[in-house]
Amino acid sequence: MSLIIWIDAYSTGIAEVDGQHKKLVELINTLFDSITLKDRTPVLSQAFEELVNYTVFHFGKEEELMTRCAYPDIVNHKAEHRSFINEINKFKQEFASGDNKVMLKVINFLKDWLLNHIKGTDKKYVPHLQAKGCK
Ligand SMILES: [Fe+2]
C-alpha cells in the first residue's frame, strides 16, 4: 500500500504545481516501497537521487511562478525551499555513508515536510495568484 494517498486537500488548483506535487508524492511512495527489497541499496540511492533532482526542478518552477506573479512573500517561501534542500543533502551524506536505516527516517521527514509545506506555505500563494489571474 502506498505511504501517501493524494487527497483533494493537497490541491492548489494550479495544474502545473499539482502535477509536480503528485510526482513528488509518487517518488516518495517509490522510496517507501523500495525499502523492503532484498537488494535495496542501489534502488534506494537511485530513487533518492531522482527525488532530490525532481525537488530542485519543482522548487525552481514554483519560484519562477512566484517571481512572474510578483508574490510578496517569495523571500520566506524560497528560504523554506533552501532549508529543505540543506536537510535532504545532509540525509544524502548519511545514506551515502552506508546507513540503510537512515532511509526510513528520511522518508518520514520527506512525507511530513512535503505535506505540511503544500498545505501551508504553498497554499498561501494561491489567493494572490488567483487575484492576479496569474498561472
Ligand atoms: Fe513551495
**Residue corresponding to grid cell 512566484:** 66
CA of 59 to the centre of ligand 1 (A): 6
**CA geometry: angle 82, 17, 111, nearest 5 deg:** 60
Check residue 46 and give its pLDDT.
Answer: 93
pLDDT at 82: 98
CA 88 to ligand 1 center in whole angstroms:
15
Judge contact between 77 and 121, C-beta under 8 A.
yes
What region does 37 belong to: left with phi over 0, alpha with psi -120 to 50, or beta?
beta
Q: How confident is the model at residue 97 (pLDDT cuts 50, 70, 90)?
A: confident
pLDDT digits (tens, 9 = 90+) for 11-38: 999 999 999 999 999 999 999 999 888 8
Write down the pTM of the prediction: 0.94
pLDDT at 95 over 90: no
103 domain-assigned: yes
Note whether residue 102 is domain-resident.
yes
Residue of 1 and 72 predicted with greater confidence: 72
What's residue 98's pLDDT?
75
Ligand 1 center to residue 38 CA distance, Å? 34
Indicate whether 20 belongs to any domain. yes
For residue 23, the CA-to-ligand 1 centroid distance in Å is 14
Say how many Å lie between the CA of residue 60 and the centre of ligand 1: 9
Q: Which residues contact 111 (CB under 8 A, 6 or more apart)?
A: 3, 4, 28
Cα 95 to ligand 1 centroid, rounded to whole Å: 25
Asked whether residue 64 is assigned to any structural domain, the reply reads yes
Distance (Å, rounded) from C-alpha 53 to C-alpha 63? 15
pLDDT at 10: 97
Which residue blocks in 1-135 are alpha helix, DSSP H?
15-34, 40-68, 74-96, 102-117, 123-132
Report yes or no on 95 lying in a domain: yes
Which CATH number is 53's domain given?
1.20.120.50
Q: How many domains does the chain have?
A: 1
pLDDT at 1 over 80: no
Mean pLDDT of the chain: 94
> Is position 3 within any domain?
no
Instruction: Give the distance (Å) from ligand 1 centre to CA of residue 83.
Output: 12
Task: Answer yes or no: is pLDDT of 123 > 90.
Answer: yes
Do the domain assignments include residue 2?
no
Compute the distance from residue 36 Cα to the ligand 1 centre, in Å. Answer: 30
Kindly give the distance from the C-alpha atom of residue 29 to the centroid of ligand 1, in angstroms, as a whole number.
19
Domain ranges, residue 70: 8-132
Let me know if residue 1 belongs to a domain.
no
